[in-house]
């Protein structure tokens, strides 16, 4: 794979938009560099009695538009470089969809699949405690990401509350019983689906003949599949970390959900054939939806990608090198900072509900999510057509311009 690190790659996308906006090098430095990075050690007594020390990070990238906001991931590759790049994506994402937050990301370098619940609880509490002095309802609000979920947020809220008192707005993506929002769990998948459906409407295509391949069946992949299936799209493949399943006639996602509940895995789902994660990406399909980890489409496999549309449900699933090649082949790419923004949009609704201790209905959540994400998509499409540039570049330009504007108003930039 290319020698570039993830942060170099995200900055390549940034620079292409910054050039369009004619930003000088000082402004670029201000916007590229995180405002604060914190690395902490997390010593934990494992269930075996052995002491292990994990590394944890919180990168606060930019807060010109509001408090830092972004998820926490538990993953073996969650190092400072990855967390920094994901934090910057949050800055452009929250700006693009115009919600009043900046960007941040957290991570603990561990493999949650190899840890027990009690070990995860201890790691989460110690991590929260060690970064708590830089968090705050009006300062920095974590949320779930890869390898974390509502239970992790419940532990974070509880650990924070032990020092600072009851503070539900300190995290989003909590269980509903603890002040979480209805519709938050499905929000990222719903956002991906709303964009997919909008494209289908724009193109006036018959959804029952439209094929989808989805890499990943975690929170994002599975909810995307669920909404798309309900609408009548044909999902020909879906996967988890161990591999995927394929069916040319389409997978029944309602039945797959039940199967997953019973078997804890999608493997061997009836009337489907096994497929590897690598082969899934190379399937001939109308829409390819990477909804797992970063950099899965890169210089090694890009020549074999056979789709017309890619919707980036995962963060940074395509390297800049692969991105260029796909654009040359006229593949339309809906970029991560738009495609998966549904999660942070409903996090904003959850935070708002926590601030004034009032509950919104699921219908209100879905309607307001739809208004925000489709409005952002319309802006991206308009700029893309007007300037003849790809959606990603248009999305970065719109997001960066809003952060520049806020920076000027706050007095960080003179002109």
Read off the tokens for 161: 């509350």
Say whether residue 340 binds ligand GLU (CB under 6 A). yes
Residues near 293 by beta carbon (within 8 Å), at least 6 away in sequence = 75, 77, 146, 314, 317
Residue count at the site for ligand GLU (CB under 6 A)?
11
CA distance 234 to 213: 9
Say whether residue 106 binds ligand GLU (CB under 6 A). no
Query: Is residue 404 within 8 Å of 390, Cβ to Cβ?
Result: no
Stretch that binds ligand GLU, among 202-210, 226-234, 266-274, 340-348 (CB under 6 A): 340-348
Say whether residue 6 binds ligand GLU (CB under 6 A). no
- The closest alpha carbon to 364, from 345, 387, 338, 381, belongs to 345
Question: Rounded to the nearest 10 degrees, what angle do helices 391-410 and 25-32 cross at?
Answer: 100
Burial class (CB in 10 A: 0-12, 13-18, 19+), 323: buried
CB of 94 to ligand GLU, least distance (A): 8
User: Taking CB under 6 A as the rule, which mask of x and - marks residues 166-185 in contact with ligand GLU?
Assistant: ------x-------------
Q: Between 267 and 352, whose beta carbon lies closer to ligand GLU? A: 352
CA distance 153 to 71: 10
CB of 237 to ligand GLU, least distance (A): 24
Nearest position to ligand GLU, beta carbon: 71
Cβ atoms < 10 Å from Cβ of 70? 31
Say whether residue 11 binds ligand GLU (CB under 6 A). no
CA distance 12 to 318: 12
Say whether residue 314 binds ligand GLU (CB under 6 A). no
CB of 279 to ligand GLU, least distance (A): 27
User: Taking CB under 6 A as the rule, which mask of x and - marks residues 257-296 in contact with ligand GLU?
Assistant: ----------------------------------------
CB of 343 to ligand GLU, least distance (A): 4
Stretch that binds ligand GLU, among 63-71, 224-232, 281-289, 384-392 (CB under 6 A): 63-71
CB of 144 to ligand GLU, least distance (A): 6
Stretch that binds ligand GLU, among 268-276, 342-350, 360-368, 392-400 (CB under 6 A): 342-350
Say whether residue 343 binds ligand GLU (CB under 6 A). yes
Say whether residue 186 binds ligand GLU (CB under 6 A). no
Stretch that binds ligand GLU, among 40-48, 190-198, 290-298, 336-344 (CB under 6 A): 336-344
Say whether residue 196 binds ligand GLU (CB under 6 A). no
Say whether residue 337 binds ligand GLU (CB under 6 A). no
Q: Which of 6, 215, 239, 347 binds ligand GLU (CB under 6 A)?
A: 347
CB of 373 to ligand GLU, least distance (A): 12
CB of 312 to ligand GLU, least distance (A): 11
List the interface residues with ligand GLU, window 68-97 (CB under 6 A).
69-71
Query: Is residue 103 within 8 Å of 87, Cβ to Cβ?
Result: yes
Our answer to whether residue 105 is catalytic in this structure is yes
Residues near 23 by beta carbon (within 8 Å), at least 6 away in sequence = 31, 400, 404
- The closest alpha carbon to 173, from 190, 188, 194, belongs to 188
Catalytic member of 32, 69, 93, 105: 105
User: Taking CB under 6 A as the rule, which mask of x and - marks residues 20-59 in contact with ligand GLU?
Assistant: ----------------------------------------
Q: Between 105 and 234, whose beta carbon lies closer to ligand GLU? A: 105
- Footprint of ligand GLU on this chain (CB under 6 A)? 69-71, 143, 145, 172, 315, 340, 343-344, 347
**Residues designated catalytic:** 105
């Amino acid at each position: 794979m290319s020698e570039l690190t993830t942060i170099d790659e995200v900055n390549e996308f940034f620079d292409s938009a910054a050039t369009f906006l004619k930003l000088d090098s000082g402004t670029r430095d201000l916007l590229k560099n995180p405002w604060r990075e914190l690395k902490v050690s997390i010593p934990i007594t494992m269930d075996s009695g052995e002491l292990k020390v994990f590394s944890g990070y919180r990168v606060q990238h930019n807060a010109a538009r509001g408090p830092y906001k972004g998820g926490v991931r538990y993953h073996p590759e969650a190092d400072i470089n990855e967390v920094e790049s994901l934090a910057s994506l949050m800055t452009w994402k929250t700006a693009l969809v115009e919600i009043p937050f900046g960007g941040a990301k957290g991570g603990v370098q561990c493999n949650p699949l190899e840890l027990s619940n009690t070990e995860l609880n201890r790691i989460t509490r110690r991590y929260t405690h060690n970064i708590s002095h830089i968090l705050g309802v009006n300062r920095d609000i974590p949320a779930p990401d890869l390898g974390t979920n509502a239970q992790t947020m419940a532990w974070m809220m509880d650990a924070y509350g032990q020092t600072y008192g009851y503070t539900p707005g300190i995290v989003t993506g909590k269980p509903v019983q603890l002040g979480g929002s209805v519709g938050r769990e499905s929000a990222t998948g719903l956002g991906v689906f709303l964009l997919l459906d909008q494209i289908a409407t724009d193109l006036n295509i018959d959804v029952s003949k439209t094929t989808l391949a989805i890499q990943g069946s975690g929170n994002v992949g599975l909810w995307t599949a669920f909404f798309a299936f309900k609408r009548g799209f044909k999902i020909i493949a879906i996967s988890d970390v161990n591999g995927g399943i394929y069916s040319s006639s389409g997978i029944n996602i309602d039945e797959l959900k039940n199967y997953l509940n019973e078997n804890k895995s999608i493997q061997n789902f009836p009337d489907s054939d096994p497929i590897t994660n690598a082969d899934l990406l190379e399937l001939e399909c109308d829409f390819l939806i990477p909804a797992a980890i970063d950099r899965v489409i890169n210089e090694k496999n890009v020549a074999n990608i056979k789709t017309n549309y890619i919707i980036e449900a995962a963060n940074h699933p395509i390297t800049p090198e692969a991105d260029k090649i796909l654009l040359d082949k006229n593949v339309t790419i809906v970029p991560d900072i738009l495609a998966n923004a549904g999660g942070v949009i409903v996090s904003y609704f959850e935070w708002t509900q926590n601030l004034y201790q009032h509950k919104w209905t699921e219908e209100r959540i879905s309607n307001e999510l739809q208004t925000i994400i489709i409005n952002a998509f319309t802006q991206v499409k308009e700029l893309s057509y007007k300037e003849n540039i790809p959606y990603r570049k248009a999305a970065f330009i719109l997001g960066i311009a809003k952060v520049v504007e806020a920076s000027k108003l706050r007095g960080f930039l003179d002109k």
